[in-house]
Structure 1
Amino acid sequence: MNVLHPGPWPTIAEYDALLMDIARRIQLTRTKHETAERNFGALCNHVDRKGSPLEDCVIECYPSGSFATGTAIASRVKKAQHDVDVVMELKVDPTTSPQRILQLLFEAINGEPGSSYHGMVTLNSRCVTVKYADGTTVDLMPIARINGPDRAGHLFHHKKETGESYHKKVNPWGFATHFNNHVDFDPAFHDLFEGRRLLVEGKIVEKADTQPMPDHVPIEEKSARVVALQLIKRARDIAYRSSSRNGLRKPPSVVLAAMALGAGPVKPSLLDEVIGIATHIRLRLTETNGVRGTVQVLNPAYPLDEFTDRWPENKTAQDLLDGDLRRLIVNLHKLRNDNLSLEEKRDLLKQLFGETAATYAIESSLDASRREMEANKLRMGNNGKVFSAAAPAVLATSTAARSATREGGGALSE
């Protein structure tokens, strides 16, 4: 049954509404979620197929990282592309040569000329990447289970350029479970976020929108902490698009997610939540307890698994992230406190989150304002400013709260 929500509208501060619209723009769609599930499922079956070098060796495959914690964002927003990290648990000796395991996985996927994935596969130091025709990728990381917590295992690392080779204790499943169990959810945030979507879209809400497929969670059902973390990741990706950072390793999403858990109670404002997480991460970045004199972040579900084993490489890399977060915080304060024109807001948001997301947010703001004007609730000035105490959102019926979902994300190239 279709339901039209004509109001009443609770209020959302305009700066929060803009951030909500940006967050909505960088989400994966239900279709992309289904594509990701289908792609990695087919790959796992392909590796385990009869005649494969790893025939009958695949125990289980599951999404990891951002895909498993619901913090993933579209890697290329204009093309709605996504990248998926997948753990492939193999029934092999955990002390097997990393080079051999990675090579076997590469051969199992790449196959013979003319086979399904031949020519689409790249061998990396810890995973094998499959790149599809539309530009989306799946990274398959093989691990072998070891004694310890549920699903703890050895990761296989081999860097052919240097010959560096070792096993690393990991538990990506444990971290995803821990993260999802420790993100706070606010039903009021859910209602405001869903209401904002309904007002911006200006259309009826079909039952399918409030009854999602299993494992795909609409953005309004996510924790405010998850959404804020997605915005921080988007800002990170934009910052690392600079040509001056070519070849630099980005701060891993799992490091940001682990540190975000310690940011204290979730704030009632999305902007304040982003600032709160960024401020807490900056505080952590003053630490120098790692082996390289840099911050050390461990998997809270399995402390033997260090997330910062490769980043930051040095204090310079750590300070680079600190500077990015400081600029993010300063600009968000400016968005909230300064009397900016619509064009100035667009430029600020473009600097932080990229042109596509910023333009979408401004257009959404105008669409929402026009709909409110139709209800004689707002008036618009000649310079595009909307005169109102706050930007509106439609109040919608609350649905079951879910803090995270399995979705894909990755490096951004807009």
Structure 2
Amino acid sequence: MNAPFSPQGRNPFDDPLDRILAEIALSAQLPPSLHGKAGGRYGAARAHLEADPAFKDQIEHFYPQGSMAIDATISSRGTDDEYDLDIVSQLGGRFRQMDPLAILLALERALKNYPVQKVVRQTRCVTLYYADRMHLDITPALRAYGTLDRESYITHAKGPTNSTDDRFVDMNAFGFVEWYRGRTPLEYRMAKAFHDHWLNLEASGLRADAEVDDVPDQCEFIVKNTATLALQLVKRFRNIRYATYRGRTPPSVMLSYYAGTAAKPDSTLSEMVIRIANWIIGDIEQASRCGQKLHVANPVCADDVFTDRWPETIGQQDEFAGYLKELVAGLEGVKRGDLAADRLMDWLRSRFGDRVVTKAADRMANEIGAGVQSADQRYTRKGGLLLPTAGIVGVAATPSIARAQPHSFYGVRI
């Protein structure tokens, strides 16, 4: 009997384009030091609620949902150092007799004096704002009995008074996370390469900034597969494209669904970004041809609709598809060698943000420079030498990155 296939994944630092993309994802994602801190804050928030008389013995489950649950957290829309984290607080007993707004108001009252910068009641959750720019959204939920594990109803009420729009919304965040994990298995080679890169930054002193100062000597893999790393890049691209947009944007949970659907273990990182984007484009175009808005539901709970608040119009979804087409065309052009090295970093900055791309470029330049100084020259699989010079970041002299002046080394001024 043959042993079951176990995907190993690709080392994203072996390919010039994938290496740049991986460094950008690293610059935008939740640092391991804050990843551990987030876990502690979950526990502290639950303990605070359980100490409140209204919530004593009323919390059945308290668990992460969304990006934190699948290790895909990145900085918030339009920022480089703010992180939104999500918790579901499954309530029981007395709360089952209350309307949505009353539950949200009770949660707000219980958290009113929590030691953070501010506490804000939202339409579906209560948000804790920490001084280090982390935001913790606590969403109250009531278990939908007789359904799959932890399918629940979450509150929807804008307030401050009751409205005919107030309602309970079906969701199964827990089931979706299990579905996503089943679709995106651990790719050991990829995960270890990314994990080791974090630790090497700490050990060598090549820190991007204080965010990685507290990386422990031994920590679990944070990003476990290429699909999740690609998802972080697609989310970052969305954040930059919509940084100044005042309305709703393509929801992260919808993007996570497409990452799980499109997941193909052992793909390269750039291939995976293109694959996710093309899957979204295809579904949007199909919906638009039928004169319909995109409909994406939780694969384990049909009534949990990920697109219930976006898109609001067909034109809005077509706009997003257009952005994604431009991203795909750009990445495919880089892979063909159509984009010269002196334009590559500017192109990346406009798609993923100036600060995170510059941080990525700085790390690459510093690391490569240290390698050359120690005679540890680095070569790509196709024989291109990664060579730094003063004030620039070295880019591999291979056709996959730059075609002009084919027998020279290239640097991109940062």
Task: Give the letter for the 2:39 counterpart.
Answer: E
Counterpart in the other structure of 2:410: none
Counterpart in the other structure of 1:158: 157
Distance (Å, rounded) in 1 between the aligned partners of 2:37 and 2:57: 25
Distance (Å, rounded) in 2 between the aligned partners of 1:47 and 1:127: 14
Change (3 A) 1:229 1:137: same
Superposition TM-score, scaled by structure 2 size:
0.79
Please report how far the alpha carbon of residue 209 of structure 1 lies from its aligned counterpart in structure 2 after TM superposition.
5.9
User: CA-to-partner distance for each residue in 1:205-237, whole Å, 9 max, x for gaps?
Assistant: 9xx86731xxx5334xx1000000000001101
Distance (Å, rounded) in 2 between the aligned partners of 1:202 and 1:62: 33
Change (3 A) 1:10 1:390: farther
Distance (Å, rounded) in 2 between the aligned partners of 1:70 and 1:118: 24
Matched, 1:322 2:321: yes
Gaps of 5+ in 1: 1-8, 392-414
Matched, 1:211 2:218: yes
8 Å Cα contact 1:200-1:365 kept in structure 2: no
Task: Give the letter for the 1:211 counterpart.
Answer: Q
8 Å Cα contact 2:184-2:227 kept in structure 1: yes
User: CA-to-partner distance for each residue in 1:140-181, whole Å, 9 max, x for gaps?
Assistant: 100011221111111111123764111111111111111112
User: Tell me, what secondary structure is at the counterpart of 2:323?
Assistant: helix
Q: Summarize the alignment of residues 272-351 of structure 1 with structure 2, pairs less than 5 Å apart.
A: 272-288=271-287, 293-338=292-337, 340=339, 342-351=341-350
Task: Give the letter for the 2:334 counterpart.
Answer: L
Counterpart in the other structure of 2:403: none
Superposition TM-score, scaled by structure 1 size:
0.79
Counterpart in the other structure of 1:238: 240
Distance (Å, rounded) in 1 between the aligned partners of 2:221 and 2:13: 24
User: Tell me, what secondary structure is at the counterpart of 2:262?
Assistant: coil
Change (3 A) 1:339 1:371: farther
Task: Give the letter for the 2:221 counterpart.
Answer: V
Overall identity of the aligned pairs, in %: 28
Please report how far the alpha carbon of residue 102 of structure 1 lies from its aligned counterpart in structure 2 after TM superposition.
0.9
Task: Give the letter for the 1:178 counterpart.
Answer: W
User: Tell me, what secondary structure is at the counterpart of 1:122?
Assistant: strand
Task: Give the letter for the 1:89 counterpart.
Answer: Q
Matched, 1:145 2:143: yes
User: Tell me, what secondary structure is at the counterpart of 1:159?
Assistant: coil
Change (3 A) 1:346 1:138: same
Please report how far the alpha carbon of residue 267 of structure 1 lies from its aligned counterpart in structure 2 after TM superposition.
5.2
Distance (Å, rounded) in 2 between the aligned partners of 1:33 and 1:307: 25
Please report how far the alpha carbon of residue 321 of structure 1 lies from its aligned counterpart in structure 2 after TM superposition.
1.5
Please report how far the alpha carbon of residue 316 of structure 1 lies from its aligned counterpart in structure 2 after TM superposition.
1.9
8 Å Cα contact 2:264-2:272 kept in structure 1: no
8 Å Cα contact 1:259-1:297 kept in structure 2: no
8 Å Cα contact 2:365-2:388 kept in structure 1: no
Distance (Å, rounded) in 1 between the aligned partners of 2:184 and 2:158: 36
User: CA-to-partner distance for each residue in 1:86-109, whole Å, 9 max, x for gaps?
Assistant: 000111454631111111111111
Counterpart in the other structure of 1:61: 62
Return the match for 2:41 from 28, 39, 42: 39
8 Å Cα contact 2:89-2:140 kept in structure 1: yes
8 Å Cα contact 2:263-2:272 kept in structure 1: no
8 Å Cα contact 1:146-1:152 kept in structure 2: yes
8 Å Cα contact 2:231-2:256 kept in structure 1: yes
8 Å Cα contact 1:70-1:226 kept in structure 2: yes
Q: Summarize the alignment of residues 165-184 of structure 1 with structure 2, pairs less than 5 Å apart.
A: 165-184=166-185
Distance (Å, rounded) in 2 between the aligned partners of 1:133 and 1:255: 29
Change (3 A) 1:346 1:326: same
Task: Give the letter for the 2:218 counterpart.
Answer: Q
How large is the RMSD of aligned CA atoms in angstroms? 3.2
8 Å Cα contact 1:287-1:294 kept in structure 2: no
Relative contact order, higher structure (CA 8 A, sep 6+): 1
User: CA-to-partner distance for each residue in 1:272-321, whole Å, 9 max, x for gaps?
Assistant: 110011111111112439x9921111111222211111111121221122
Please report how far the alpha carbon of residue 356 of structure 1 lies from its aligned counterpart in structure 2 after TM superposition.
1.4
Distance (Å, rounded) in 1 between the aligned partners of 2:340 and 2:330: 15
8 Å Cα contact 2:361-2:393 kept in structure 1: no
Please report how far the alpha carbon of residue 350 of structure 1 lies from its aligned counterpart in structure 2 after TM superposition.
0.6
Q: Summarize the alignment of residues 9-408 of structure 1 with structure 2, pairs less than 5 Å apart.
A: 12-51=14-53, 53-75=54-76, 80-92=81-93, 93-94=95-96, 96-110=98-112, 115-117=113-115, 120-147=118-145, 148-160=147-159, 163-190=164-191, 192-193=193-194, 203=204, 211-212=218-219, 216-219=220-223, 222-242=224-244, 245-246=245-246, 248-263=247-262, 265-266=264-265, 268-288=267-287, 293-338=292-337, 340=339, 342-373=341-372, 374-376=375-377, 378=385, 380=387, 386=395, 388-389=397-398
Please report how far the alpha carbon of residue 323 of structure 1 lies from its aligned counterpart in structure 2 after TM superposition.
1.5
User: Tell me, what secondary structure is at the counterpart of 1:48?
Assistant: helix
Distance (Å, rounded) in 1 between the aligned partners of 2:193 and 2:116: 47
Task: Give the letter for the 1:66 counterpart.
Answer: S
8 Å Cα contact 1:125-1:158 kept in structure 2: yes
Please report how far the alpha carbon of residue 251 of structure 1 lies from its aligned counterpart in structure 2 after TM superposition.
1.0
Aligned residues: 367
